[in-house]
C-alpha cells in the first residue's frame, strides 16, 4: 500500500487530459467492433433463415399461438416462433462482444468521473465486468483478478481523484489484459465462422449464376435472337456483381480484424503502465481499427444483399 500511495504522489502532475483521448478512442474501437459484429449477425441470420426455408419447405409447421399472444406471460424474446420437425427458425446469435463493450465503456466512465462515489461505483463495475469476461473466455482462475481495481478508491479515500482515476485504469487494464488475450480469439473465431457461412452462400449463388449464364449463352448461340442475347447479358451482369461482392468480402474479413483488439488492449495496458503517460499510439491504432471495422461492416452488408452493378 505504501508503494501504491507513493506511486500516486509521483503522478500528481498527471491530468485526465493526458490519457482521456486514448481511453475514449479505445472504447470507440470496441463499440465499432460490436456494431460490425451486429451487422454480421443480422446477415448471418438472413442466410440461415433462407437455408431453413429451403430445407423444411413442404413440411408441417407448428406455431404456439398462446405464446405469440403473450400468455401466460410475461413475454420473452423468441416465444413466438415457428417450428418444423421440432426445429425452430433461426435467430441472430447473441453478441459475443457484450462483456468487452461494457468493460470499455466503464474505462471511459472512469475518465469522466467527477466524484469519489461515482469512481468507486465504476471501479467495482469494472471488476465485475472483468470477472464476467473471464467466464466467457473459460478462464475460471482469472475471474477474481479484478479485485485490486475495485478496492483502490475505498482504501485511499479519494485523496486526489485524478490520480485515483489513473490508478484504477492501470489496475483494471493490467487485470483485464490476460482475460482479453484469451477472450478476443474466441470472439474472432465466432465472427469468422458467421462470415464464412455468409460467404459460402454467396459463392453458391455465384456458381448458380455462372451456370445460368453459360446456359443462356448456349441458347443465344443456337437462336441468335435479341431476346436470348438480352438474357445472357442480364445473367452476365449478375455473375460480375457476385464476383465483385465475393472479392470485396475476401479482402475484408472480420476474424483478422477482431484479433487486432488483443494487440490494441496490450498497447493500452503497456502505455498506462509506463512512468510517463502517452496514449497517442493507442489513439492512432484505435482510429485505424474503427476505419477498418467500418469497411468490414460495409462488405458484410453487400455480401448479404448483393446488387446488380
pLDDT at 61 over 70: yes
| Angstrom distance (rounded) from CA 42 to CA 44 | 5
Average per-residue pLDDT for the chain:
85
Better-scored residue on pLDDT, 17 or 259: 259
pLDDT in tens, 34-57: 999 999 999 899 989 988 998 999
Grid cell, residue 182, equals: 484469451
Q: Which of 132, 122, 133, 127 is nearest to 164 (CA)?
A: 122
Here the cell at position 193 is 465462422
pTM of the entire predicted model: 0.81
Query: So what's the pLDDT on residue 260?
Result: 97
Q: How many CA atoms lie within 13 A of 59 on its CB side?
A: 13
Please give the average per-residue pLDDT across 17-33, as a whole number.
91
Q: Is 242 within 8 Å of 206 (Cβ atoms)?
A: yes
Q: Say what percent of the chain tops pLDDT 90.
A: 48
pLDDT band per the 50, 70, 90 thresholds, residue 93: confident
pLDDT digits (tens, 9 = 90+) for 99-140: 999 999 999 999 998 888 888 889 889 988 998 898 888 766
Give 147-184 pLDDT, tens digit per residue.
Answer: 555 555 555 456 667 778 888 899 999 999 999 999 99
Amino acid at each position: 500500500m505504501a508503494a501504491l500511495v507513493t506511486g500516486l504522489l509521483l503522478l500528481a502532475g498527471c491530468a485526465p487530459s493526458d490519457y482521456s483521448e486514448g481511453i475514449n478512442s479505445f472504447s470507440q474501437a470496441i463499440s465499432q467492433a460490436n456494431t460490425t459484429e451486429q451487422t454480421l449477425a443480422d446477415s448471418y441470420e438472413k442466410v440461415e433463415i433462407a437455408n431453413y426455408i429451403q430445407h423444411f419447405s413442404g413440411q408441417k409447421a407448428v406455431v404456439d399461438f398462446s405464446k405469440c399472444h403473450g400468455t401466460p406471460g410475461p413475454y420473452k424474446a423468441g416465444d413466438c416462433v415457428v417450428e418444423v420437425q421440432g426445429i425452430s427458425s433461426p435467430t441472430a446469435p447473441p453478441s459475443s462482444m457484450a462483456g468487452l463493450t461494457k468493460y470499455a465503456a466503464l474505462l471511459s466512465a472512469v475518465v469522466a468521473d467527477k466524484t469519489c462515489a461515482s469512481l468507486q461505483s465504476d471501479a467495482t463495475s469494472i471488476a465485475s465486468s472483468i470477472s464476467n469476461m473471464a467466464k466467457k473466455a473459460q478462464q475460471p482462475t482469472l475471474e477474481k483478478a479484478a479485485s485490486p481495481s475495485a478496492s483502490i478508491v475505498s482504501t485511499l479515500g479519494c485523496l486526489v481523484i485524478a490520480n485515483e482515476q489513473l490508478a484504477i485504469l492501470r489496475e483494471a487494464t493490467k487485470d483485464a489484459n490476460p482475460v482479453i488475450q484469451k477472450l478476443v480469439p474466441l470472439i474472432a473465431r465466432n465472427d469468422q465462422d458467421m462470415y464464412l457461412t455468409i460467404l459460402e452462400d454467396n459463392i453458391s449463388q455465384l456458381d448458380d449464376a455462372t451456370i445460368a449464364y453459360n446456359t443462356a449463352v448456349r441458347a443465344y448461340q443456337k437462336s441468335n435472337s435479341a431476346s436470348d442475347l438480352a438474357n445472357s447479358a442480364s445473367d452476365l451482369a449478375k455473375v460480375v456483381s457476385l464476383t465483385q461482392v465475393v472479392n470485396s468480402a475476401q479482402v475484408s474479413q472480420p476474424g483478422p480484424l477482431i484479433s487486432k483488439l488483443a494487440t490494441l488492449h496490450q498497447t493500452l495496458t503497456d502505455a498506462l503502465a509506463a512512468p510517463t503517460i502517452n496514449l497517442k499510439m493507442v489513439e492512432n491504432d484505435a482510429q485505424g481499427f474503427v476505419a477498418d471495422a467500418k469497411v468490414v461492416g460495409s462488405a458484410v452488408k453487400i455480401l448479404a444483399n448483393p446488387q446488380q452493378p
